[in-house]
């Protein structure tokens, strides 16, 4: 009945036409949303592009002479298989409407199967083929027309330029502040292309760059610590300008990452490129339907990377943060192809073969036998010694694999983990724990080191707390006078001394440095809080961090800890504040160092055991293993 009333048969095409009209409206809305985001505006109404004069004011007087007319450009949009899906149609009209608004009509270079669909949308479309053939056809057409080629992606919602002062230093806070303070310009695609071309033609050198483009990320905040224009860097394929006189084409062996190779080829052919580090795009990439997304997978990514690194081995390295991505860095010696380095390598290898002898071979074998401990001392002077014990502080990392490795390292000596401990990184690949890992874990506060301290001899001595739960906590593990099958390891407090120290801790001022928290003693070997090498630890009741039982560790923590949002720790002044009101109290068998004559109430000692041989001390909380290790260093 409805068809009879309308006087014609309804088809699916009629429904699609309605969706196309909706897509056009959504495209205009997407443009306005992108512009409002740039201006950070919540006001209603139309937001137009800024005046071209505002952008061209950034150019110097020489560069302004090279500002071209829009008729000098051949605007090309490379696309494929996007004209039959509403999301793709919306993006198509998003780009088309901005180019028409700027006064140019682009040519769409598409695959042969889709050319009819693009023409049905009212676009000027021609057959280009796949990605790189389409790009090359656009370049050839521009040369035939004697015009500058501008290639545009089919999903750009805005062009932006930020003009402002550089940051004072390479600091994220300063760079973000400079980026936020910069003048924000919404520019048309024609103005953007004119700006880039004027910069290219206005360089003072005889060899002018023939390729120019924009910064590759959506935010250019990190560029505010450097120059606004770069000459030997990657040029993004989403929007670039190729000046007349360039004969460089895209490598059709590449189905992805073709823009990396194109940039390198231009640097080699013309001595450089022109990247505007303060100009950015609002684009979509990996979520698009159709286009290069249909051929992007792990195998194709890896194959294209092999082609790329095969041509320019010294210009690319793997991106450590993004799988199947590369980082381009043109070498300072201009040897991107690796020709010079390969010659040097060949000459060096030939020289080695001619002078190789058994003596050299023996030296290599000897070098391999060096111990890890010597490597630690020689290579990393800023790291703890090879015999230092690493302890996990209890601090969790956002990266799960970092927390795992810190727990695995916990309680082990440096020389037993560097280059020896096997672990898995964020990608699941197995590798060994290295110097960089140790330095990062220590600096970030995930690990801390425990080393012997040497102090002058005095009357004061410490006490040793047992490590085994089957030994009476009220009886020292080693006595000063010795006993059956026990040899004196140094002065330690007697049972009465232990009890006295505990009593003093609960009643007198010198031990108020404990502030508050729970003393954990007789820990089981499988405890996740501290290693089985420790006999006594201290746990903060707010954040649950656990520490070796020393004044310095606990004092530093309680002065800095904010309790995960709490008001912070307070300095206790009385024994009641130390041990009462649910703040935790020392366990009955927790032994602490006795204050010496030189020790004040504000700075009590942290000595747990003193060696009779050398006078060195171990901190409170040292275990039988700690003492035995020290004894062995004297050959006892």
* CATH fold for the domain made of 17-39+54-296: Spore Coat Polysaccharide Biosynthesis Protein SpsA; Chain A (3.90.550)
How would residue 191 be classed by pLDDT, with cut points 50, 70 and 90? very high
Tell whether the model's pLDDT for residue 160 goes beyond 50.
Answer: yes
Handedness of CA 595, 597, 603, 606 (dihedral sign): negative
pLDDT score, position 586: 33
Q: How far apart are CA 609 and CA 463, in angstroms?
A: 6
Per-residue pLDDT tens digits for 589-630 = 333 333 333 333 343 334 466 677 777 776 655 656 667 677
Read off the pTM: 0.55
How would residue 159 be classed by pLDDT, with cut points 50, 70 and 90? very high
Tell whether the model's pLDDT for residue 486 goes beyond 60.
Answer: no
* Sequence-ordered list of residues with C-beta below 8 angstroms from that of 415, at least 6 positions apart, any chain: 371, 372, 373, 376, 386, 387
Cα atoms found within 13 Å of the Cα of residue 223, Cβ hemisphere only: 23
Under DSSP, the state recorded for 483 is B
- Average pLDDT for residues 15-22, to the nearest whole number? 84
Q: Is 575 exposed, middle or buried (0-12, 13-18, 19+ CB in 10 A)?
A: middle
Q: Give yes or no for a contact between 73 and 67, defined as CB atoms under 8 angstroms apart.
A: no
Of 149, 141, 150, 85, which Cα lies nearest the Cα of 118? 85
Per-residue pLDDT tens digits for 72-123 = 999 999 999 999 899 999 999 999 999 999 999 999 999 999 999 999 999 9
Residue of higher predicted confidence among 533 and 482: 533
Q: Give yes or no for a contact between 254 and 308, defined as CB atoms under 8 angstroms apart.
A: yes
Q: Give yes or no for a contact between 80 and 291, defined as CB atoms under 8 angstroms apart.
A: yes
Give the count of beta carbons closer than 10 Å to the beta carbon of residue 534.
Answer: 28
* Sequence-ordered list of residues with C-beta below 8 angstroms from that of 374, at least 6 positions apart, any chain: 386
Residues, the chain, total? 636
Task: Dump the DSSP string for 501-566.
Answer: HHHHHHHSGGGGGG-S-EEEES--TT-SSS-TT-SEEEE-TTT--EEES-HHHHHHHHHH--TTTS
Cα atoms found within 13 Å of the Cα of residue 584, Cβ hemisphere only: 17
Q: Give yes or no for a contact between 215 and 280, defined as CB atoms under 8 angstroms apart.
A: yes
Residue of higher predicted confidence among 497 and 228: 228
Under DSSP, the state recorded for 596 is -
Give the count of beta carbons closer than 10 Å to the beta carbon of residue 232.
Answer: 21
Tell whether the model's pLDDT for residue 418 goes beyond 60.
Answer: yes
Of 600, 590, 596, which Cα lies nearest the Cα of 620? 590
| Percentage of the chain lying above the pLDDT 70 cut | 63
Q: How far apart are CA 182 and CA 178, in angstroms?
A: 6
How would residue 514 be classed by pLDDT, with cut points 50, 70 and 90? very low
- Average pLDDT for residues 167-194, to the nearest whole number? 93
How would residue 64 be classed by pLDDT, with cut points 50, 70 and 90? very high
How would residue 352 be classed by pLDDT, with cut points 50, 70 and 90? low
Q: How far apart are CA 98 and CA 238, in angstroms?
A: 15
pLDDT score, position 484: 29
> Contacts for 467-474 with beta carbons within 8 Å, 24 or more apart?
467/522, 467/532, 467/534, 467/535, 467/623, 467/624, 467/625, 468/522, 468/624, 469/522, 469/524, 473/521, 473/522, 473/588, 473/589, 474/498, 474/499, 474/589
* Sequence-ordered list of residues with C-beta below 8 angstroms from that of 46, at least 6 positions apart, any chain: 32
- Average pLDDT for residues 459-486, to the nearest whole number? 30
- Average pLDDT for residues 225-247, to the nearest whole number? 95
> Vertex 223, ends 221 and 229: CA angle to 5°?
135
Cα atoms found within 13 Å of the Cα of residue 308, Cβ hemisphere only: 27
- Average pLDDT for residues 540-566, to the nearest whole number? 50
pLDDT score, position 585: 33
- Average pLDDT for residues 283-287, to the nearest whole number? 65
Under DSSP, the state recorded for 166 is P
How would residue 399 be classed by pLDDT, with cut points 50, 70 and 90? confident
Residue of higher predicted confidence among 32 and 487: 32
pLDDT score, position 321: 86
How would residue 582 be classed by pLDDT, with cut points 50, 70 and 90? very low
How would residue 288 be classed by pLDDT, with cut points 50, 70 and 90? low
Tell whether the model's pLDDT for residue 397 goes beyond 60.
Answer: yes
Q: Give me the chain's average pLDDT, please.
A: 73
pLDDT score, position 35: 92
pLDDT score, position 501: 32
How would residue 520 be classed by pLDDT, with cut points 50, 70 and 90? very low
* Sequence-ordered list of residues with C-beta below 8 angstroms from that of 416, at least 6 positions apart, any chain: none
Q: For residue 103, give Cα distances in angstroms to 90, 106, 442.
A: 20, 10, 59
Give the count of beta carbons closer than 10 Å to the beta carbon of residue 148.
Answer: 24
Q: Give yes or no for a contact between 209 and 203, defined as CB atoms under 8 angstroms apart.
A: yes
Query: Which backbone phi and psi does 214 adopt, to 5 degrees?
Result: -120, 170
Q: Where are the domains of the chain?
A: 17-39+54-296, 372-449, 452-633
Tell whether the model's pLDDT for residue 526 goes beyond 70.
Answer: no
Q: Give yes or no for a contact between 375 and 431, defined as CB atoms under 8 angstroms apart.
A: no
Give the count of beta carbons closer than 10 Å to the beta carbon of residue 592.
Answer: 29
pLDDT score, position 602: 43
Handedness of CA 528, 531, 532, 535 (dihedral sign): negative
Bridge partners of 274, per DSSP, are 212
Tell whether the model's pLDDT for residue 563 goes beyond 90.
Answer: no
């Amino acid at each position: 009945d409805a068809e009879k009333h309308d006087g014609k048969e309804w088809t699916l095409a009629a429904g699609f036409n309605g969706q196309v009209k909706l897509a056009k409206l959504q495209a205009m809305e997407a443009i306005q949303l992108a512009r409002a985001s740039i201006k950070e505006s919540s006001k209603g109404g139309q937001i137009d592009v800024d005046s071209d004069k505002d952008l061209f004011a950034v150019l110097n007087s020489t560069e302004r002479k090279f500002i071209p007319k829009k008729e000098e450009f051949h605007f090309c949009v490379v696309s494929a298989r996007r004209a039959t899906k509403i999301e793709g149609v919306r993006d198509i009209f998003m780009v088309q409407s901005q180019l028409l608004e700027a006064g140019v009509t682009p040519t769409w270079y598409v695959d042969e199967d889709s050319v009819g669909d693009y023409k049905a949308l009212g676009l000027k479309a021609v057959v280009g083929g796949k990605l790189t053939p389409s790009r090359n056809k656009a370049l050839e057409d521009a040369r035939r027309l004697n015009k500058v080629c501008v290639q545009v992606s089919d999903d750009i919602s805005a062009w932006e330029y930020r003009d402002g002062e550089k940051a004072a230093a390479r600091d994220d806070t300063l760079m973000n502040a400079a980026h936020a303070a910069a003048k924000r310009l919404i520019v048309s695609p024609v103005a953007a292309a004119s700006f880039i071309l004027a910069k290219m033609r206005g360089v003072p050198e005889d060899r002018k760059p023939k390729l120019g483009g924009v910064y590759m990320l959506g935010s250019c905040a990190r560029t505010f610590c450097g120059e606004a224009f770069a000459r030997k860097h990657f040029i993004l394929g989403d929007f670039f300008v190729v000046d007349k006189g360039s004969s460089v084409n895209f490598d059709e062996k590449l189905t992805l990452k073709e823009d990396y190779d194109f940039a390198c080829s231009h640097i080699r052919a013309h001595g450089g490129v022109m990247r505007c580090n303060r100009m950015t795009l609002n684009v979509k990439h990996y979520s698009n339907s159709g286009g290069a997304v249909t051929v992007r997978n792990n195998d194709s990514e890896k194959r294209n990377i092999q082609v790329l690194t095969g041509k320019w081995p010294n210009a690319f390295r793997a991106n450590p943060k993004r799988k199947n991505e590369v980082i381009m860095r043109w070498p300072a010696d201009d040897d991107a192809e690796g020709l010079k380095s390969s010659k040097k390598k060949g000459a060096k290898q030939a020289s080695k073969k001619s002078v190789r002898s058994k003596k050299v071979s023996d030296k290599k074998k000897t070098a391999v036998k060096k111990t890890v401990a010597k490597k630690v001392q020689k290579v990393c002077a800023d790291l703890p010694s090879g015999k230092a014990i690493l302890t996990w502080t209890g601090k969790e990392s956002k990266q799960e694999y970092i927390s795992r490795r810190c727990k695995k390292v916990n309680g082990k000596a440096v020389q037993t983990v560097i280059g020896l401990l096997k672990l898995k990184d964020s990608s699941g690949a197995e590798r060994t724990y290295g110097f960089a890992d140790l330095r990062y874990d220590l600096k970030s506060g995930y690990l801390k080191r425990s080393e012997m301290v040497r102090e002058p001899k005095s009357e004061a001595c410490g006490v040793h707390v047992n490590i085994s739960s089957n030994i009476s906590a009220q009886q020292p593990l080693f006595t000063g006078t010795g006993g059956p099958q026990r040899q004196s390891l140094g002065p330690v407090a007697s049972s009465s001394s232990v009890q006295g120290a505990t009593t003093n801790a609960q009643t007198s001022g010198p031990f108020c440095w404990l502030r508050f928290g729970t003393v954990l003693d007789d820990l089981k070997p499988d405890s996740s809080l501290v290693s089985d090498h420790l006999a006594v630890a201290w746990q903060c009741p707010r954040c649950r961090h656990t520490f070796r039982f020393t004044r310095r560790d606990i004092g530093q923590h309680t002065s800095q800890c904010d309790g995960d949002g709490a008001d912070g720790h307070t300095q206790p002044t009385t024994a009641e504040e130390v041990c009462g009101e649910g703040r935790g109290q020392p366990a009955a068998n927790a032994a602490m160092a006795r204050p010496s004559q030189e020790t004040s109430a504000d700075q009590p000692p942290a000595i747990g055991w003193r060696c009779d041989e050398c006078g060195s001390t171990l901190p409170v909380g040292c275990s039988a293993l700690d003492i035995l290790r020290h004894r062995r260093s004297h050959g006892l």
